[in-house]
Structure 1
Protein backbone atom coordinates (compact mmCIF):
# COMPACT_ATOMS: atom_id res chain seq x y z
CA UNK A 1 0.00 0.00 0.00
CA UNK A 2 1.75 3.13 -1.24
CA UNK A 3 -0.13 6.26 -0.21
CA UNK A 4 0.97 9.70 -1.36
CA UNK A 5 -0.60 13.15 -1.33
CA UNK A 6 -2.77 13.99 -4.34
CA UNK A 7 -0.92 16.61 -6.37
CA UNK A 8 -2.69 16.39 -9.72
CA UNK A 9 -5.90 15.44 -11.47
CA UNK A 10 -4.21 12.18 -12.52
CA UNK A 11 -3.45 11.33 -8.87
CA UNK A 12 -7.01 12.21 -7.94
CA UNK A 13 -8.58 10.06 -10.67
CA UNK A 14 -6.34 7.07 -9.84
CA UNK A 15 -7.23 7.36 -6.17
CA UNK A 16 -10.95 7.47 -6.99
CA UNK A 17 -10.57 4.20 -8.90
CA UNK A 18 -8.85 2.60 -5.90
CA UNK A 19 -11.42 3.99 -3.44
CA UNK A 20 -14.23 2.60 -5.59
CA UNK A 21 -12.60 -0.85 -5.62
CA UNK A 22 -12.14 -0.75 -1.85
CA UNK A 23 -15.74 0.34 -1.28
CA UNK A 24 -16.91 -2.61 -3.39
CA UNK A 25 -14.81 -4.93 -1.17
CA UNK A 26 -16.46 -3.46 1.96
CA UNK A 27 -13.43 -4.04 4.20
CA UNK A 28 -13.69 -4.25 7.97
CA UNK A 29 -12.51 -1.23 9.97
CA UNK A 30 -8.99 -1.74 11.27
CA UNK A 31 -7.90 -4.14 8.54
CA UNK A 32 -5.21 -3.10 6.05
CA UNK A 33 -7.83 -2.54 3.33
CA UNK A 34 -10.10 -0.69 5.78
CA UNK A 35 -7.23 1.55 6.85
CA UNK A 36 -6.29 2.22 3.23
CA UNK A 37 -9.89 3.18 2.42
CA UNK A 38 -10.03 5.55 5.38
CA UNK A 39 -6.75 7.27 4.50
CA UNK A 40 -7.56 7.56 0.79
CA UNK A 41 -10.99 8.96 1.61
CA UNK A 42 -9.36 11.69 3.70
CA UNK A 43 -6.99 12.53 0.84
CA UNK A 44 -9.82 12.65 -1.68
CA UNK A 45 -11.91 14.86 0.62
CA UNK A 46 -8.99 17.26 1.08
CA UNK A 47 -8.26 17.40 -2.66
CA UNK A 48 -11.93 18.07 -3.46
CA UNK A 49 -12.17 20.80 -0.82
CA UNK A 50 -9.15 22.55 -2.33
CA UNK A 51 -10.00 22.09 -6.00
CA UNK A 52 -13.81 21.92 -6.07
CA UNK A 53 -15.01 24.21 -3.26
CA UNK A 54 -18.75 24.27 -2.74
CA UNK A 55 -20.54 27.56 -2.45
CA UNK A 56 -22.73 28.08 0.55
CA UNK A 57 -26.40 27.55 -0.35
CA UNK A 58 -28.78 30.47 -0.64
CA UNK A 59 -30.90 30.77 2.57
CA UNK A 60 -34.20 30.81 0.69
CA UNK A 61 -33.23 27.81 -1.43
CA UNK A 62 -32.27 25.97 1.77
CA UNK A 63 -35.71 26.70 3.23
CA UNK A 64 -37.46 25.59 0.03
CA UNK A 65 -35.35 22.42 -0.07
CA UNK A 66 -36.22 21.55 3.54
CA UNK A 67 -39.89 22.27 2.86
CA UNK A 68 -39.80 19.87 -0.08
CA UNK A 69 -37.92 17.23 1.92
CA UNK A 70 -40.40 17.36 4.78
CA UNK A 71 -43.49 17.80 2.61
CA UNK A 72 -44.24 21.18 4.18
CA UNK A 73 -46.44 23.85 2.66
CA UNK A 74 -46.75 27.57 3.25
CA UNK A 75 -49.24 26.96 6.08
CA UNK A 76 -46.73 24.73 7.89
CA UNK A 77 -44.08 27.46 7.73
CA UNK A 78 -46.19 29.89 9.78
CA UNK A 79 -44.79 28.28 12.93
CA UNK A 80 -41.27 29.34 11.91
CA UNK A 81 -41.76 32.50 9.86
CA UNK A 82 -45.13 33.99 10.76
CA UNK A 83 -48.40 34.58 8.93
CA UNK A 84 -48.94 33.19 5.44
CA UNK A 85 -48.29 36.54 3.75
CA UNK A 86 -44.96 36.83 5.60
CA UNK A 87 -43.95 33.34 4.44
CA UNK A 88 -44.63 34.37 0.85
CA UNK A 89 -42.63 37.60 1.32
CA UNK A 90 -39.64 35.62 2.62
CA UNK A 91 -39.85 32.91 -0.05
CA UNK A 92 -40.14 35.51 -2.82
CA UNK A 93 -37.20 37.53 -1.51
CA UNK A 94 -39.22 40.64 -0.71
CA UNK A 95 -38.37 40.46 3.00
CA UNK A 96 -35.26 39.31 4.89
CA UNK A 97 -35.21 36.69 7.60
CA UNK A 98 -35.14 38.08 11.12
CA UNK A 99 -33.04 36.66 13.93
CA UNK A 100 -36.07 35.05 15.65
CA UNK A 101 -37.08 33.44 12.33
CA UNK A 102 -33.54 32.11 11.85
CA UNK A 103 -33.59 30.64 15.35
CA UNK A 104 -36.96 28.95 14.83
CA UNK A 105 -35.97 27.57 11.41
CA UNK A 106 -32.69 26.29 12.81
CA UNK A 107 -34.25 24.66 15.87
CA UNK A 108 -37.43 23.39 14.23
CA UNK A 109 -36.22 22.32 10.81
CA UNK A 110 -32.52 21.75 11.53
CA UNK A 111 -31.39 24.15 8.83
CA UNK A 112 -27.86 25.27 9.77
CA UNK A 113 -27.94 28.80 11.16
CA UNK A 114 -24.83 29.65 9.13
CA UNK A 115 -26.80 28.92 5.95
CA UNK A 116 -29.78 30.98 7.07
CA UNK A 117 -27.56 33.93 8.01
CA UNK A 118 -25.85 33.91 4.60
CA UNK A 119 -26.60 36.43 1.92
CA UNK A 120 -29.37 35.64 -0.53
CA UNK A 121 -28.16 35.04 -4.06
Structure 2
Protein backbone atom coordinates (compact mmCIF):
# COMPACT_ATOMS: atom_id res chain seq x y z
CA UNK A 1 0.00 0.00 0.00
CA UNK A 2 1.38 3.39 -1.03
CA UNK A 3 1.59 6.32 1.28
CA UNK A 4 -0.91 9.02 0.28
CA UNK A 5 0.59 12.08 -1.32
CA UNK A 6 0.69 15.32 0.65
CA UNK A 7 0.16 18.62 -1.16
CA UNK A 8 2.07 20.54 1.52
CA UNK A 9 5.13 21.00 -0.68
CA UNK A 10 3.26 21.96 -3.87
CA UNK A 11 2.52 25.63 -4.46
CA UNK A 12 1.03 27.66 -7.30
CA UNK A 13 3.33 28.68 -10.15
CA UNK A 14 3.47 32.48 -9.97
CA UNK A 15 6.83 33.33 -11.51
CA UNK A 16 9.34 32.18 -14.08
CA UNK A 17 11.49 30.79 -11.25
CA UNK A 18 8.50 28.77 -9.93
CA UNK A 19 7.88 27.54 -13.47
CA UNK A 20 11.48 26.39 -13.97
CA UNK A 21 11.48 24.67 -10.57
CA UNK A 22 8.22 22.85 -11.40
CA UNK A 23 9.64 21.70 -14.76
CA UNK A 24 12.74 20.38 -13.01
CA UNK A 25 10.57 18.55 -10.46
CA UNK A 26 8.44 17.03 -13.24
CA UNK A 27 11.56 15.84 -15.01
CA UNK A 28 12.55 13.91 -11.89
CA UNK A 29 9.07 12.36 -11.68
CA UNK A 30 8.68 11.32 -15.33
CA UNK A 31 9.05 7.62 -14.53
CA UNK A 32 6.58 7.70 -11.62
CA UNK A 33 3.96 4.97 -11.57
CA UNK A 34 0.28 5.97 -11.65
CA UNK A 35 -1.61 5.79 -8.36
CA UNK A 36 1.51 6.35 -6.28
CA UNK A 37 2.39 9.46 -4.30
CA UNK A 38 4.98 10.36 -6.98
CA UNK A 39 2.44 9.74 -9.75
CA UNK A 40 -0.11 11.99 -8.02
CA UNK A 41 2.51 14.69 -7.58
CA UNK A 42 3.38 14.43 -11.27
CA UNK A 43 -0.30 14.83 -12.24
CA UNK A 44 -0.73 17.91 -10.05
CA UNK A 45 2.49 19.57 -11.24
CA UNK A 46 1.65 18.85 -14.88
CA UNK A 47 -1.73 20.53 -14.40
CA UNK A 48 -0.15 23.58 -12.75
CA UNK A 49 2.48 23.83 -15.51
CA UNK A 50 -0.16 23.53 -18.24
CA UNK A 51 -2.22 26.33 -16.67
CA UNK A 52 0.86 28.56 -16.35
CA UNK A 53 1.92 27.90 -19.97
CA UNK A 54 -1.58 28.55 -21.31
CA UNK A 55 -1.60 31.93 -19.58
CA UNK A 56 1.98 33.00 -20.30
CA UNK A 57 2.81 31.27 -23.60
CA UNK A 58 -0.41 31.20 -25.64
CA UNK A 59 -0.10 29.42 -28.96
CA UNK A 60 -1.01 31.43 -31.98
CA UNK A 61 -3.13 29.74 -34.59
CA UNK A 62 -1.55 29.31 -38.02
CA UNK A 63 -2.81 31.49 -40.83
CA UNK A 64 -5.20 29.85 -43.33
CA UNK A 65 -2.62 28.97 -45.96
CA UNK A 66 -0.22 27.44 -43.43
CA UNK A 67 -3.09 25.45 -41.90
CA UNK A 68 -4.05 24.08 -45.34
CA UNK A 69 -0.44 23.26 -46.23
CA UNK A 70 0.02 21.50 -42.88
CA UNK A 71 -3.04 19.33 -43.47
CA UNK A 72 -1.92 18.57 -47.03
CA UNK A 73 1.47 17.39 -45.79
CA UNK A 74 0.04 15.58 -42.76
CA UNK A 75 -2.58 13.70 -44.81
CA UNK A 76 -0.57 13.30 -48.02
CA UNK A 77 -3.02 15.41 -50.04
CA UNK A 78 -2.44 16.84 -53.50
CA UNK A 79 -3.79 19.89 -55.28
CA UNK A 80 -6.34 17.57 -56.92
CA UNK A 81 -7.57 16.47 -53.46
CA UNK A 82 -8.35 20.10 -52.57
CA UNK A 83 -10.38 20.81 -55.72
CA UNK A 84 -13.74 19.69 -54.22
CA UNK A 85 -13.20 22.16 -51.37
CA UNK A 86 -11.60 25.11 -53.15
CA UNK A 87 -12.26 24.80 -56.88
CA UNK A 88 -10.26 23.98 -59.99
CA UNK A 89 -6.51 23.51 -59.63
CA UNK A 90 -5.71 27.07 -60.73
CA UNK A 91 -7.90 28.37 -57.89
CA UNK A 92 -6.17 26.03 -55.40
CA UNK A 93 -2.78 27.35 -56.53
CA UNK A 94 -4.02 30.95 -56.19
CA UNK A 95 -5.13 30.28 -52.59
CA UNK A 96 -1.91 28.46 -51.67
CA UNK A 97 0.18 31.24 -53.24
CA UNK A 98 -1.84 33.87 -51.34
CA UNK A 99 -3.18 35.41 -54.54
CA UNK A 100 -6.83 34.66 -53.68
CA UNK A 101 -8.62 34.79 -50.33
CA UNK A 102 -10.75 31.93 -49.08
CA UNK A 103 -14.50 32.35 -49.48
CA UNK A 104 -16.98 31.39 -46.77
CA UNK A 105 -17.94 28.29 -48.78
CA UNK A 106 -14.28 27.23 -49.08
CA UNK A 107 -13.79 27.74 -45.33
CA UNK A 108 -16.85 25.63 -44.54
CA UNK A 109 -15.73 22.81 -46.84
CA UNK A 110 -12.12 22.82 -45.61
CA UNK A 111 -13.34 22.74 -42.03
CA UNK A 112 -15.83 19.92 -42.69
CA UNK A 113 -13.65 17.78 -44.96
CA UNK A 114 -10.19 18.27 -43.44
CA UNK A 115 -11.04 19.23 -39.88
CA UNK A 116 -9.01 22.44 -40.03
CA UNK A 117 -10.14 24.68 -37.16
CA UNK A 118 -12.44 27.41 -38.46
CA UNK A 119 -10.52 29.88 -36.28
CA UNK A 120 -7.41 29.26 -38.39
CA UNK A 121 -9.28 29.50 -41.68
CA UNK A 122 -10.85 32.87 -40.87
CA UNK A 123 -7.66 34.37 -39.46
CA UNK A 124 -6.14 37.20 -41.45
CA UNK A 125 -3.54 35.63 -43.74
CA UNK A 126 0.07 36.65 -43.40
CA UNK A 127 1.10 38.99 -46.19
CA UNK A 128 4.38 37.87 -47.68
CA UNK A 129 6.49 40.56 -49.31
CA UNK A 130 8.48 39.62 -52.39
More helix by share: 1
Counting only pairs closer than 5 Å after superposition, residues 10-89 of structure 1 correspond to structure 2 as 10-25=17-32, 27-28=33-34, 30-89=35-94
Residue from 100, 103, 112 that aligns with 1:98: 103
TM-score (norm 2): 0.83
Residues 43-75 of structure 1: per-residue CA shift (max 9 Å, x gap): 111211222222221111010011011111111
* Root mean square deviation, CA, Å: 1.4
Extract structure 1 runs of 4+ deviating beyond 4 A. Answer: none
What stretches of structure 1 of length at least 5 have no aligned partner? none
Please report how far the alpha carbon of residue 22 of structure 1 lies from its aligned counterpart in structure 2 after TM superposition. Answer: 1.8
Please report how far the alpha carbon of residue 14 of structure 1 lies from its aligned counterpart in structure 2 after TM superposition. Answer: 1.1
d(CA) in 2 for partners of 1:57, 1:16: 27
TM-score (norm 1): 0.89
- Bigger Rg, which one: 2
